[in-house]
Amino acid sequence: MHIFFLQIKTETFHKRYGVECSAALHHNKAKTNYHIHLVFSERKMLEQPEVKVATRNMFYDEQGKHRLTKKEVLDEQGNLRAGCSIIPKGEVYESHIFTKKDEWFKNKAFTKEVKELFTDTINRYVKEESEKLSVFQQSGVYLATKKIGKNNSKAEEIKADNAARQEWNRTVDVALVEGVPEEDILKIKQEKITDKTLQSIKTHGWLPDMFRQIIRGAKDFFQEVIFKFKLPPKPVPKIDLQEWKDMQKLMYELQRQSIEIKRTQQDISSLKKQLSDLRGLFKGKERKSLEGRIELLEDLEKRLHKRLEQTMKKTIFEEMGGTYIRHGDYLIPCLTLLEEEEQRFIGVWGQRHLRYLKEYRRGIYLNLITSGRLNDYLADIKEQAQELFERIVEQMKQAQGITEQLKADDTLEWIGRMSDIQACAREIVNKEMIYQ
């Protein structure tokens, strides 16, 4: 298979560019990369050798540079200097069996063309569409890594640079799997990496450490975008808000009517006391006036009670089985928590969200209380928050290359990095689900 593949590569190149070539397939020293070396000629062989004959004596100095006169290659004594040469008239001074180097092979467009050529060649033998290769695009979502040549004085700097770039690329892989659109990724790359890098270079010049910080900052921001993109919908309180508003409106109306009745009763009681305290033979006119006012108020009280009863009979609340309790002279709907069949465990996430509801979402909290659905709602929050937390941790582990092997090799490093990841995951869950 390997031989067949190498034949395909060389035949394709030869057919396209018309030059001789050969290829070899092998691992790198660390056996982390399996690749092909393609060696080709930048010249073509001439059908007939090209021979040039001297039409006069030709003089060349120590560097092989052509000189016009003989004295330019002689010493002070008139002798030919060492390294210089003279080609007599009529002799061959130059012979070629190959053409000049093809300048196209030095062009960046050639490299791009070859990549596309070989990618297309390989893809013809790949059946699964998802497994087909594509040429790396500088303007794409990924960051290119740099090759480290032999005896490179900046090898360590390049390694650190490549590590930061790979962290970004792994995060891009996660984003694409999760379904984040490429245009969104490109926008983040442009704003968080390209633009910031250009600004940094403009302000401070090229600083490798600064560039790596920019990449890692972009990666951290990008990870939050991914998690937000796949956030499950937060549970919605399963209550009829209109029903609650109607009940609340009714309660206010009943309270108002009850207050009016109480006030009327207080006025009647006061007038009756005045009447009982009234003494004397000449107080008949005043007594009659008090009796008339009492009679009117008692009639008003009867009408108010009747209106109160009619209001209560008309309510949806009563139709649904709601009842009223008396607090002194007030009739108030019994808005109590319905008994639940089973109390579900709400955990830490549920407790945190409960405290948040009590402090910042009082209306929702009361609605959940009165509908008897508070426990189910908090339990759903707990389950979804825990699921999100675990998924975020797992994705961040993959993005940062935290493996069981690292745990075995360096337990302290593993614990430290996992602690950071879990703290970050908790912050995201709190922000996106718990404190909203």
The tokens for 102 are 């093809």
Tell me: pLDDT of 328 over 60.
no
Task: Give pLDDT, residue 84.
Answer: 93
Do 283 and 361 fall within a single domain? no
Element (H, E) at 27: strand 21-27
**How many structural domains are present in the chain?**
4
Q: Report whether pLDDT(321) > 60.
A: no
- Give 1's pLDDT tier (boundaries 50, 70, 90): low
- The phi, psi pair for 148, rounded to 5°, reads -105, 110
- pLDDT band for 336, please (50, 70, 90 cuts): very low
224, 267, 259, 231: which is closest to 427 by C-alpha?
Answer: 224
| 240 vs 195, higher pLDDT | 195
Residue 9 tokens read as 């590569």
Cα–Cα distance measured from residue 426 to residue 436, given in angstroms and rounded to the nearest whole number = 14
Residue 214 included in any domain = no
pTM of model > 0.85: no
Of the residues 308, 333, 358, which one is the last residue of a structural domain? 333
Question: Are 302 and 399 part of one and the same domain?
Answer: no
Tokens at 107, concatenated: 């062009």
First to last CA, the chain: 59
* pLDDT tens, position by position, 130-145: 677 777 777 788 888 8
| 3-state DSSP assignment of residue 49 | strand
C-alpha 117: how far from chain center: 34
Return the pLDDT at 91: 92
Residue 421 CA to residue 429 CA, distance in Å, equals 12
| Amino acid sitting at position 233 | P
Q: Average model confidence (pLDDT) for the chain?
A: 79
Q: At 219, is the pLDDT very low, low, confident or very high (cuts 50, 70, 90)? A: confident
Please indicate, yes or no, whether residues 16 and 1 belong to a single structural domain of this protein. Answer: yes
Whether 120 and 4 share a structural domain: yes
Residue that wins the pLDDT comparison between 71 and 238: 71
Evaluate whether residue 81 is within a structural domain. yes
206 pLDDT above the threshold of 60 = yes
For residue 358, being part of any structural domain is answered with yes
Q: Higher model confidence: residue 55 or residue 373?
A: 55
Q: Which residues of 337-364 are buried (b: 16+ CB within 10 A; e: fewer)?
A: eeeeeeeeebeebbebbbeebeeeeeeb
Using the 8-state DSSP alphabet, how is residue 61 labeled?
A: -
Q: Which of 333, 367, 397 is the last residue of a domain?
A: 333
Indicate whether 123 and 88 sit together in one domain: no
Give the SS3 label for residue 58.
strand
Asked whether residue 198 is assigned to any structural domain, the reply reads no
pLDDT, one tens digit per residue, over 24-52 is 887 777 666 777 888 988 888 888 888 88
* Chain CA centroid to CA 313, Å: 56
Q: pLDDT tens digits, residue range 248-306?
A: 676 677 777 778 888 888 888 888 888 887 777 667 778 788 888 888 888 888 888 78
The reply to whether 10 and 115 lie within a common domain is yes
Domain assignment of residue 223, yes or no: no
Is the Cβ–Cβ distance between 40 and 17 less than 8 Å? yes
Q: Which DSSP string corresponds to 356-381? A: HHHHH-HHHHHHHHHHT-HHHHHHHH
Residue 178 has what pLDDT?
73
The range of the structural domain enclosing residue 17 comes to 1-44+100-134
d(CA 292, CA 268): 11
**Could you tell me if 33 and 111 lie in one domain?**
yes
Residue 225 lies in a domain: no
pLDDT at 69: 92
Same structural domain for residues 18 and 49? no
- Helix or strand holding residue 327 (H, E): strand 324-327
Report the helix count and the strand count for the chain, using DSSP H and E: 14, 9
User: Average pLDDT for residues 403-432, to the nearest whole number?
Assistant: 81
> Residue 67 — φ and ψ, nearest 5°?
-115, 150
Dihedral (CA of 192, 197, 420, 158) sign = positive
pLDDT tens-place string over residues 377-393: 888 888 888 888 888 88
Contact 348, 329 (CB under 8 A): no
